[in-house]
Amino acid sequence: MATVQNRTSYWERAKEQGFDLSWLSQLEESVTGKDVDEVSRNDTGRVEGSIPRNNVPRFGAYTFRTKSEVWAHNLTKLYHEFVTRQWSSATDIPWDTIQELPDDVEAAQCQLATFFAQVEFVASDVPGRFISSMSPDYHEVRLALLAQVMDESRHLDVFRKRALANGGGLMRMIDTVSDVVGGSTDNAREFTELSSRLHITGEGNVLTLFRLGELMAYNEAEKAIYRRCAQDEARHVAIGVLHLRYMNEFAPDRREEIHGYLDEGEARQATGAGGENPAGVNTLTSEALAVLLGGGKDKVEEGQKILMAIRQRQVKEYFQRLKSAGFDDRIHNGRVNPALLETYQAAA
Ligand SMILES: [Fe+2]
Ligand SMILES: [Fe+2]
């Protein structure tokens, strides 16, 4: 059986099929940025760089019109990555590899798929609200978010298809995602607030889980779903890391505010509150995961052990994101959530 530590063959097979995350290090290595105005006076929908006309109504009134509210370097490169990595739930998933599963395993897989269908909708819906409220001068940010919306639509679609593909069907609506649907992520009014909560914390945790998809997959179709979604999710997380990195360097006066968002995200990650982390403690999804990881309802104890290792991996990858964005001072100065630090140290 695959373990959290032993996933080499999974990714080797993925690479043979063209999966590649090397672009993530390219984003780190070559930080480039073109010059756009610090404050945008464009409120007519004019294409950035084009010649203005004076007889156009000022209908834009964009909420976000300063660079330090939305910007990140390298978003154009990231956008091209988005475009070249699109796939189809209809043609790129080997659905015919799904065989009949024991009822408890099928039910758990369908419960997890129901969760993802629900949260993937939020992950497209919420960033979507910000796109039309940004000045067109910052079109690279808009393009990256538009591409995220397309990815999330596909995720919603593929998990819905999985729930319906093998006789299980859609299971219980997740009632604990109060911090996602109608909660703090959903209610974010500010882009950095949204990005910290969604890209860094929420999607970061989901990314770790997708990367470990082989552990909870029972056929090649499910493995393909998790691999494809992991690659997409890495780009969404990259939007957040690149934005926070920009903020750290060019808007240091907002660092304390950002640390406040991270305090809140960490508390949710540590306690499972809000239900946005499918591997969170005592949630409907973590029960389903324990069944899938252990191999059945009678093996949930084994499943819980693997789940613990997954939580440790989530914290490790979160700390790596903090470091990459320049906010890892909180790990060393006592601000980081103590429960997360304990989990991290227990894994070391
Ligand atoms: Fe997603
Ligand atoms: Fe996402």
Residue 240: what pLDDT?
97
**Span from the CA of 49 to the centroid of ligand 1 (angstroms):** 33
CATH number at residue 289: 1.10.620.20
Residue 181 pLDDT greater than 50, yes or no: no
305 lies in some domain: yes
**Span from the CA of 14 to the centroid of ligand 1 (angstroms):** 19
**Span from the CA of 95 to the centroid of ligand 2 (angstroms):** 22
Residue 310: what pLDDT?
95
**Span from the CA of 255 to the centroid of ligand 2 (angstroms):** 24
- Find the mean pLDDT for residues 251-269: 93
Highest mean pLDDT out of 56-60, 217-221, 263-267, 268-272: 217-221
Give one DSSP letter per residue of 262-329, joined into a string. HHHHHHHHHH-TTS-STTSTT-HHHHHHHHHHHTSGGGHHHHHHHHHHHHHHHHHHHHHHHHHHT-TH
In a 13 Å sphere around the CA of 73, the CA atoms on its Cβ side amount to 17
What is the total count of domains within the chain? 1
Confidence bin at 183 (pLDDT 50/70/90): low
Reported residue count of the chain is 348
CA angle centred on 83, ends 78 and 89, rounded to 5° = 125
Residue 26 pLDDT greater than 70, yes or no: no
Q: Per residue in 61-98, pLDDT tens?
A: 899 999 999 999 999 999 999 999 999 999 999 999 99
Between residues 126 and 6, the one the model is more confident about = 126
Residue 177: what pLDDT?
53
Residue 182: what pLDDT?
43
57 lies in some domain: no
**Span from the CA of 64 to the centroid of ligand 1 (angstroms):** 25
**Span from the CA of 12 to the centroid of ligand 2 (angstroms):** 24
Q: Which domain holds residue 125?
A: 70-347
Calculate Rg over the CA atoms of the chain. Answer: 20
Residue 326: what pLDDT?
96
In a 13 Å sphere around the CA of 26, the CA atoms on its Cβ side amount to 12
Distance CA 65, CA 43 (A): 9
E strands, the chain, where?
none
Burial profile 56-66: b = 16 or more Cβ within 10 angstroms, e = fewer: eeeebebebbe
22 lies in some domain: no
Mapped onto helix, strand or coil, the DSSP state of residue 64 is strand
Minimal CA–CA distance to 243: which of 117, 124, 130, 90? 130
Confidence bin at 32 (pLDDT 50/70/90): low
Which residues, 6+ apart, have CB-to-CB distance to 114 below 8 Å?
159, 163, 170, 171, 172, 173, 174
321 lies in some domain: yes
Note residues around ion ligand 2 (Cβ under 5 angstroms): 123, 203, 233, 236
Looking at the CA of 144, which ligand is closest?
Answer: 2
Structure tokens at 341: 């630090």
**Span from the CA of 341 to the centroid of ligand 1 (angstroms):** 27
Mapped onto helix, strand or coil, the DSSP state of residue 308 is helix
Q: Per residue in 100-123, pLDDT tens?
A: 999 999 999 999 999 999 888 888
Looking at the CA of 127, which ligand is closest?
Answer: 2
Count of H helices and E strands in the chain?
Answer: 14, 0
Residue 300: what pLDDT?
96
Distance CA 249, CA 262 (A): 17
Looking at the CA of 237, which ligand is closest?
Answer: 2
36 lies in some domain: no
62 lies in some domain: no
Residue 323: what pLDDT?
96
The percent of residues above 90 in pLDDT, for the chain, comes to 69
Minimal CA–CA distance to 293: which of 246, 195, 194, 226? 226
13 lies in some domain: no
**Span from the CA of 292 to the centroid of ligand 2 (angstroms):** 22
31 lies in some domain: no
